[in-house]
């Protein structure tokens, strides 16, 4: 009884603990408060290129008129294998010079695979080669000197 009487007096004076306050304090301890993190809608979207988009194009140009289409494939980041063996000697030289200029302008790579066969790669593709030094030291074409 004494507790109830003293509790009432303390409550009346304002020094006692209210039951509602006790329950509220207990609830605060049980709950974890997560900080509010605003979500920004101004994020940047970055396109990540995957290897699923990689394509290799095989071409056998017979005339210089085929060269621009081959360069378009290179601009579209496609790797190209060019076989110039069936082309006329002069036409093959023109096509090769044109493609070599395009590879340079697009910061790509070109490498000989066999006599008259080359691989052209865009700047996002590395060409790894195990071709012997004898092929690397030979000229790209066996051009007759005039």
pLDDT tens per residue across span 85-126: 998 999 999 999 999 999 999 999 999 988 999 999 998 888
**Paired strand residues for 83:** 117
Tokens of 22: 């006790």
pLDDT tens per residue across span 118-137: 999 998 888 887 765 555 55
Fold for 51-137, please state it.
Translation Initiation Factor IF3 (3.30.110)
Mean pLDDT across the chain:
77
What's the half-sphere exposure (Cβ side, CA atoms, 13 Å) at 47? 3
Domain ranges within the chain, ordered by starting residue: 51-137
- Please state, in angstroms and rounded to a whole number, the distance separating the CA atoms of residues 99 and 94: 9
């Amino acid at each position: 009884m004494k507790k109830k009487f003293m509790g009432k007096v303390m409550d009346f004076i304002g020094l006692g603990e209210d039951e509602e306050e006790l329950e509220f304090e207990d609830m605060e301890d049980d709950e974890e408060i997560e900080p509010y993190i605003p979500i920004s809608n101004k994020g940047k979207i970055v396109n990540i290129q995957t290897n699923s988009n990689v394509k290799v194009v095989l071409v056998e140009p017979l005339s210089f008129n085929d060269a621009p289409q081959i360069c378009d494939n290179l601009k579209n980041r496609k790797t190209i294998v060019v076989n110039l063996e069936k082309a006329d000697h002069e036409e093959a030289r023109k096509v090769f010079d044109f493609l070599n200029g395009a590879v340079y302008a697009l910061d790509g790579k070109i490498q000989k695979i066999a006599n008259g066969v080359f691989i052209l790669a865009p700047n996002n593709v590395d060409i790894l080669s195990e071709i012997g030094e004898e092929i690397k030291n030979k000229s790209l074409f066996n051009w007759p000197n005039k």
